[in-house]
Structure 1
């Protein structure tokens, strides 16, 4: 099982830095956010027209 570094940091009293994505519908956004230092990403489906298929694509390409 992979370690969830964001949960690990929070459980130890630390902080986790992440980002919220709602504009860029590209498969590479997970890699871009990771290279920028994000430890987690929140994908916003409320304020976008993204379908569950779009979120599935993000999940497949962001891990």
Structure 2
């Protein structure tokens, strides 16, 4: 098993903070993509519903 990386306390803390920030950015980016896809699907479903109800009336 590899030995843990030994860094001075300040450096270790900054490294951990940077890693947490990068993970947060990635999660926010993914959440934004999921929200955009959901909105797209919702709009598509609404358009399909309108088209179907319009055709049913004819």
Tell me, yes or no, whether TM beats 0.5: no
Larger-gyration structure (1/2)? 2
TM-score, normalised with respect to structure 1: 0.20
- More helix by proportion, 1 or 2? 2
